[in-house]
Structure 1
């Protein structure tokens, strides 16, 4: 199957559901301590919502976490007085959410769902958030933005983080090799891993910065802010292609703040 075949929404969804179900355990072992059972970390640079306050005041507000993984962010929001719902494509990630619920006594209401078709009523949330959830992995991000807009109340905000688009022009290598551009920023071919019979087993999609802005606007949302976090001093953790070396030269994450008018 060719990379372009992964642009079909059902292909991306099926591949990534299987990949996350198969890798959720390793992911939580590797990154769980950094994410914290009850913590809201936006990105590998370590931007923490407790200090960044990109969502503003959440007490008494109804918040949806999009692509929640083990729902660490949603759990933190609960401790700040928010009424929270969360969903993820991966059943195994949601099993980890239940495990953490039992360990912390904070039970997050979660559901297994696809971000391109949300099982929530219109205008039912004040805020939505996503820390690298869903959007990098879907073939039709416009459908996701339209669904999020649908479930937000007028004046509601959707804040989400994704890999910074410039990273796609460089090898996903935390070392010196990752500082040398080796492909076109404008090549929107998805990154696809295949299983033994050639079926896509993992899919990630590239959009330029202009693509993201155009998709947001086309959905009826409005761009209200963009944060490109700098690599913080003293932060020496490597996460895949993110590293102190690359972080000193290239932005690794883009965090968009959008509003439903």
Structure 2
């Protein structure tokens, strides 16, 4: 296990302001390389902007604010105690920290070293035992078969991996029989609409069935950020092929009283379109 034990240090922040957005193919190596460097460059800004919403010890599944404390998608607190849970694409490990407070034994994995450094910062600020951290690609999990009881991911790793079928197989491999795999992603229907919080974000301009990745490129045509689209049916088939049984598909509604905008998420769009899909699956 490759745990990180250094405190956050300043990093070279290369701006992506001049990146061009295109739709083109992007394979596993290109996607992993681009996204690792993007999150390393932007982790500070991301945590500054979204840290207050995410909280230091809060497990929220989505911009709609659905918390695991209320949803219980991984089970009630009695079930969580003593269970080894892998958080994939953990960022600053806010979800893992909440799981630890319930008595679980979480491990937080992320592709970005800088994101994991923020986890150490938070634990230092809270004067608590650090969450175990691992820097790795989610499609090549550095764990033995059956190492974990459950796995979870709140908007982490899945949209950024080119080969999500392989990611699902890897999660299945490291889980014990009966383990839950719960992950949230941008609702696939959103890919047909502009990523805008206002009225312009309510008109479909693209095909829902177009799986061509979204890529931001530098002046040399090199990818600096990549996201991959799958339909709902694609996700269900990936889970089934990997050996999972889908038990629930949660589409959180926009709650009354939530006025905060988060990128393309807003009260206006949330009243008309689902923004998040949460897949709840069990390893047979």
Shorter-chain TM-score tier? over 0.9
Alignment match, 1:196: 219
Match for residue 61 of structure 1 among 54, 73, 83: 83
Distance 2:64 2:31 in 1: 27
Alignment match, 1:37: 56
C-alpha spacing 1:188/1:5, structure 2 compared with 1 (3 Å) = closer
Deviation at 1:196, TM superposition (A): 2.0
1:5–1:11 Cα contact (<8 Å) kept: no
Alignment match, 2:46: 27
Alignment match, 2:192: 169
Alignment match, 1:179: 202
2:109–2:133 Cα contact (<8 Å) kept: yes
Distance 1:50 1:177 in 2: 34
Distance 2:193 2:82 in 1: 43
2:24–2:214 Cα contact (<8 Å) kept: no
2:110–2:134 Cα contact (<8 Å) kept: yes
2:85–2:148 Cα contact (<8 Å) kept: yes
Q: Secondary structure at the match of 1:125?
A: coil
Within a 5 Å distance, the mapping from 1:35-184 to structure 2 comes to: 35-56=54-75, 57-104=79-126, 105-184=128-207
Q: Can you give the 5+ residue segments of structure 1 that lack an aligned partner in the other structure?
A: none
1:88–1:94 Cα contact (<8 Å) kept: yes
Distance 2:174 2:108 in 1: 13
TM-score, length basis structure 1:
0.98
1:75–1:106 Cα contact (<8 Å) kept: no
Distance 2:23 2:163 in 1: 15
* 1:92-137 C-alpha deviation (Å, 9 max, x unpaired): 0011011011011141000100000001111111110000010000
**Structure 1 runs, 4 residues or longer, greater than 6 Å off:** none
* 1:8-63 C-alpha deviation (Å, 9 max, x unpaired): 10000000001000000000000000000111010000000111111003111111
Deviation at 1:4, TM superposition (A): 3.7
Q: Secondary structure at the match of 2:252?
A: coil
Distance 1:201 1:3 in 2: 13
Deviation at 1:220, TM superposition (A): 1.1
Aligned-pair RMSD on alpha carbons?
1.1
Alignment match, 1:245: 268
Distance 1:148 1:227 in 2: 20
Deviation at 1:3, TM superposition (A): 4.5
Q: How many residues are paired up?
A: 260
